[in-house]
Structure 1
């Protein structure tokens, strides 16, 4: 990565070079570091460099203009004019059109540092000036100690021998200590460690000796403030006890509790430092988990929909959530209530409750008993309901406080009241219905019955409750059925069935039962509920209806047979009469006058009409008794067959507008439809040049056919009459009044539709539908 990629803001740069200053090419101060300003409080921006500073190396005479360009990239010594013994040592670097000085004060001892109102925190961590001062101080102390030791060494030899044995014992104890133990000299360099420290950090002894605790333990995660406190305490030969993250040899970290204790000689002189390092990572992890758990619990409580108040044993508030404040109209943030005394809160809150004095007395009673209270209902003056719960807080058998929870149960209470009301309403409805209710458990024991069921069965509730239904009113045949139904209820299956029973009077009855499983609040089947309707009379009526239908069916069959016989017996004499009239006319053609011939012609026409009428009636009666056959029908062929059957007068033209489709259906019935509609169009055509047109329209699932003519037409008021039996709107000897009735019956049976559009004097159009995939039948 190129150095040109690094950019620093002023705060970051001040951390690295706290004694920097920036001047422009005219020698004007632009800005400077915080430590430099601390040492020189009088220093101000936008003033000349020469006001405060004078170069000592190189020497620049007073009054001579300073060429900062020539001073770059050289080691400089700058004298502070206002402080005789204060010098800055560093260098100037050109930065754009300005010149940046980076350096630090040049001091020779610690006392001089204090005179300049500076301390270690004012220097950058990488600045070696402080270390050099510490080394000088240590050297001075060492020289002094050396003189003292030379003077006193002879008198301490015997004492040294005794101490040697004690040190040996102490060393053995320290070596076996499970915590790390480090001994360092006045400069912080380690000269002895125990095995526990090596095991704890992963270092070997050779890597530790001669190093400082700073070198071995400090890492990016180490808290700088705590580290600074430890260093200050060390330099002042004071004890310290801190918790920091300590570096491990493999690059990891562990939490360490470091306790440092200075060691003094008999004269009270600081000679070394004794440090104990304890691995508290498990403790820290536990504390973190506890804090996380506490924070989650706190967040949960603060966001609960219930009002929560936590007090200590002296009734001082430890925790309260916003819901509690809202419920009791407390117009402050919950945080402001922490530490408040709750002794008088009941008196302040009692005005909300309907039984205000009882509210206070109950709280005092709960506090005196210190027993758990769950969901105690309280009614408020505004119609709301609260549920109060209380839990005493006990730790190690010592009472430590109280936890109160208030829940707004107004909706729940209203719901329960409405539920009870609805339950009572439906109970009254069921009581007044003509339906018997019976509730049983999973063993078929009767739990509940209504008055109607008792009336149906002839038993009283006392006769039924607690007994099994199969033992009271069921016969052997229905016992098996009811047992099967009970198993279905346990499988959560509901159904309806008929049950033959015997009432208390010994009469056989038939009940229609609609049964379903009964559940508890958890959804488990706890029995079944059956609704019973006495259908004995209905069953008797059905049996009577079936008997009547059988008789009607037999009579209908006999009538059809009679109609066939009668039609044959009627048609035979008619044919004979028709033949006789024909013979008479032929034999007496010259003897009859015109009137007599006309009468014979009328007789012959009436006989033919009667024959057609009998044939029409037979065709109509035969529709329901002819089996419906489904086959593929080419309607073009079917229409041509109809045209060949009917008598088409010379002045009438029949045309098929387009090729007709092929579909599935009953050929006989469709032929009857086309035959009667086309015959009807021909019979009532009064035009000199008449025509009948057959067409169709294709739709997604059906065809709509049309048979159009230019005949007389039909008035709108007569449209509904044309499909009735024997209705003929215009006198015509050839019309029987049955043809359109046959068409309507056939299409109705196939669930198809037929309708008419007509204009008198212009003509008529009959429309009817046929399904593509086969005609439907009823």
Structure 2
């Protein structure tokens, strides 16, 4: 019994001790929880303080995309002054319109636990400006559920601005280099190749920058002239020993892609060294001086030729320098150089002339022609003059020019013989003019006598013709019944020949007046004048005359031009032998002339008679078969030639004829002679 009581008491004490221990544990747990809560609050406060103090922008949005928390850095990066301006608003307020759909997809991916692609993103600030940033984001989980997203953004706007500026600068430099008029390159000595070549390589070498780079170590052996390769190799060794600010030059021949050799001139300098100070890369520029070297060679050749010409030319050449006094007035000139012909023309040895003052050399007191030479040396305007130089008793022609300021050169030749000849010619011309005047007076007298003779002859010849014609007409009238057919035929023949003789005398008289007697010239519209001729001729019905194109207006004597067209058209009508005859008139431009043509479809003219038909009294058919005086074309030829023109015929037997003549377009054509 006592043992049971003892056991019960022990149990009670143990239970009591356990309860006490449990109370202590509960107090300990409460104390720990309190401490944990205090620590958590302190941790949260420190975390919140870190978030507030960080330069990165912190944000928290809920699942609906509504801002629930942002830090001061976020507000500053977006241009807001207070969180109240942004909390409770959708994140789209910070998105650029064009990027919103992409931002929305990223939010949905992050809420689903998927990672967001890294990169640089845009943001829209309060003032509408655009900023750039990178960001990290993670889902916020509470009680096993995603309640939103939180993250940090790091501003990259300035970095992007600098990067863009660097890209623009690099692009600008690349543009400058690619459009530079010279080759730019960077050569790596370790890699034995060009690591940069600008676009000028294509025009200078015929290879693109990529092709030049692809040559690698084979560039020099492949393209550089074998004779120049040792110098180029030595140049590379010199570069390795060069100072940083030293520029080395070299010139060599290089083969273009087209196979031709070009000459390059290079300037190289150290571009990059290794850590131990060895030259790793050198940069350089090169220009194509092929044309310069060709020009220099041409100049040397020209100088050689000039020197040969200078020493062998038939004119004397002297180079001078003007001497001035203190006031700038030209007072003398010095002989600097002379060619061999100088000594021959002047009789002065070259060694005696060189370096001498002109006033002393020629012993004239004042330097000869100083004013003329000083003006040329001052203005640079060349001049030429002829002069008699009394110290040498010679005439000279002198051409003066200034090769540079203050200097002048003279090219001179002895024209004494020419002057003597000119005097002889002048004397001869004077005598000749006297003889011409005498001969002209004689010709004028002869012309007057000829004119009197022509008129007298025509009158004296026509008087008996009129008598014969009257007698023949009286016989035909009164004795026609007495004559038989043969007698009447002979009488008709007599009358026709009298008429022909009368026309022949008129033609001779008209022909003689051409070139001696003229009427005032006037403007003639040939369209009107030619139509008058056509109407006057009244061609038969089977002959059609047409003017193909518009004819010009010329200045000439109306009667003369009318006679030209009348004779040409009447001849065409007279000789036409076709049932349907055509005559065509046209005019074309022929340089300084009008070219007229009269074309018919008549019998044509054998080429051997083309010149004969223009001779006076020449006909191609017997006059009894076809009535003609043989003077019409002679009159046409003389009129055309008096106006400075020319007439000819183009024809073959059976193929018709074309008569052509030129007439000057000038308003006042020069006549050979048009004196009354």
Aligned mates of 2:61, 2:629 — CA distance in 1: 139
Q: Offset at 1:502?
A: 3.5
Partner secondary structure for residue 634 of structure 1: helix
Residue number in structure 2 paired with 1:198: 75
Do the aligned partners of 2:77 and 2:155 also contact (CA within 8 Å) in 1? yes
Q: Offset at 1:743?
A: 1.8
Partner secondary structure for residue 630 of structure 1: strand
1:365 aligns with 2:243: no
Residue number in structure 2 paired with 1:416: 295
Task: Spell out the pairing of 1:29-428 with structure 2 (5 A cutoff).
Answer: 148=32, 150-151=34-35, 180=55, 193-194=71-72, 197-207=74-84, 220=99, 245-249=122-126, 252-256=129-133, 279-294=155-170, 297=173, 309-310=185-186, 319-321=195-197, 353-370=226-243, 371=245, 373=247, 376-379=250-253, 385-393=263-271, 402-405=281-284, 407=286, 409=288, 411-412=290-291, 415-416=294-295, 419-420=298-299, 423=302, 427=306
Do the aligned partners of 1:475 and 1:501 also contact (CA within 8 Å) in 2? no
Do the aligned partners of 2:455 and 2:509 also contact (CA within 8 Å) in 1? no
1:721 aligns with 2:647: no
Aligned mates of 2:279, 2:499 — CA distance in 1: 121
Q: Offset at 1:201?
A: 0.8
Aligned mates of 2:540, 2:57 — CA distance in 1: 129
Aligned mates of 1:763, 1:208 — CA distance in 2: 111
Correspondent of 1:634 among 516, 522, 529: 529
Aligned mates of 2:343, 2:536 — CA distance in 1: 70
Q: Offset at 1:501?
A: 3.9
Aligned mates of 1:412, 1:578 — CA distance in 2: 88
Query: CA offsets, 1:113-140, max 9 Å, x none?
Result: xxxxxxxxxxxxxxxxxxxxxxxxxxxx
Aligned mates of 1:409, 1:245 — CA distance in 2: 49
Aligned mates of 1:690, 1:330 — CA distance in 2: 80
Aligned mates of 1:518, 1:148 — CA distance in 2: 111
Q: Offset at 1:335?
A: 7.5
**Is the alpha carbon distance of 1:422 and 1:472 closer, same or farther for their aligned partners in structure 2, counting shifts above 3 Å?**
farther
Aligned mates of 1:452, 1:293 — CA distance in 2: 65
Aligned mates of 2:551, 2:369 — CA distance in 1: 61
Task: Spell out the pairing of 1:648-687 with structure 2 (5 A cutoff).
Answer: 657-658=544-545, 664-665=553-554, 666-674=557-565
Partner secondary structure for residue 622 of structure 1: coil
Q: Offset at 1:254?
A: 1.3
**Is the alpha carbon distance of 1:580 and 1:383 closer, same or farther for their aligned partners in structure 2, counting shifts above 3 Å?**
closer
**TM-score, structure 1 normalization:** 0.46
Partner secondary structure for residue 615 of structure 1: helix
Aligned mates of 2:181, 2:61 — CA distance in 1: 62
Q: Offset at 1:391?
A: 3.2
1:622 aligns with 2:527: no
**Is the alpha carbon distance of 1:672 and 1:182 closer, same or farther for their aligned partners in structure 2, counting shifts above 3 Å?**
closer
Aligned mates of 1:663, 1:184 — CA distance in 2: 99
Residue number in structure 2 paired with 1:696: 584
Task: Spell out the pairing of 1:578-657 with structure 2 (5 A cutoff).
Answer: 615=509, 618-622=512-516, 628-632=521-525, 634-635=529-530, 637=532, 657=544
Aligned mates of 1:192, 1:331 — CA distance in 2: 53
Residue number in structure 1 paired with 2:444: 561
**Is the alpha carbon distance of 1:635 and 1:154 closer, same or farther for their aligned partners in structure 2, counting shifts above 3 Å?**
closer
**Is the alpha carbon distance of 1:622 and 1:703 closer, same or farther for their aligned partners in structure 2, counting shifts above 3 Å?**
same
Residue number in structure 2 paired with 1:493: none
Q: Offset at 1:564?
A: 2.7
Do the aligned partners of 1:242 and 1:259 also contact (CA within 8 Å) in 2? no
Q: Offset at 1:390?
A: 1.0
Q: CA RMSD in A?
A: 7.6
Correspondent of 1:757 among 651, 658, 671: 651
1:500 aligns with 2:385: yes
Aligned mates of 1:330, 1:676 — CA distance in 2: 80
Task: Spell out the pairing of 1:440-519 with structure 2 (5 A cutoff).
Answer: 486=381, 499-502=384-387
**Is the alpha carbon distance of 1:286 and 1:383 closer, same or farther for their aligned partners in structure 2, counting shifts above 3 Å?**
same
Do the aligned partners of 1:346 and 1:360 also contact (CA within 8 Å) in 2? no
Q: Offset at 1:717?
A: 1.8
Aligned mates of 1:215, 1:531 — CA distance in 2: 92
**Count of residue correspondences:** 536
Q: Offset at 1:288?
A: 1.9
Query: CA offsets, 1:9-55, max 9 Å, x none?
Result: xxxxxxxxxxxxxxxxxxxxxxxxxxxxxxxxxxxxxxxxxxxxxxx
**Is the alpha carbon distance of 1:385 and 1:347 closer, same or farther for their aligned partners in structure 2, counting shifts above 3 Å?**
closer
**Is the alpha carbon distance of 1:613 and 1:559 closer, same or farther for their aligned partners in structure 2, counting shifts above 3 Å?**
farther
Partner secondary structure for residue 150 of structure 1: helix
Q: Offset at 1:377?
A: 0.7
1:747 aligns with 2:631: no
Aligned mates of 2:62, 2:634 — CA distance in 1: 127
**TM-score, structure 2 normalization:** 0.51
Q: Offset at 1:412?
A: 3.5
Partner secondary structure for residue 611 of structure 2: helix
**Is the alpha carbon distance of 1:677 and 1:312 closer, same or farther for their aligned partners in structure 2, counting shifts above 3 Å?**
closer
**Is the alpha carbon distance of 1:336 and 1:764 closer, same or farther for their aligned partners in structure 2, counting shifts above 3 Å?**
closer
Query: CA offsets, 1:261-319, max 9 Å, x none?
Result: xxxxxxxxxxxxx9997644233212122134335655876899976542579888782
Partner secondary structure for residue 286 of structure 1: helix
Aligned mates of 1:146, 1:560 — CA distance in 2: 162
Aligned mates of 1:214, 1:502 — CA distance in 2: 103
**Is the alpha carbon distance of 1:412 and 1:747 closer, same or farther for their aligned partners in structure 2, counting shifts above 3 Å?**
same
**Is the alpha carbon distance of 1:250 and 1:414 closer, same or farther for their aligned partners in structure 2, counting shifts above 3 Å?**
same
Aligned mates of 2:31, 2:431 — CA distance in 1: 143
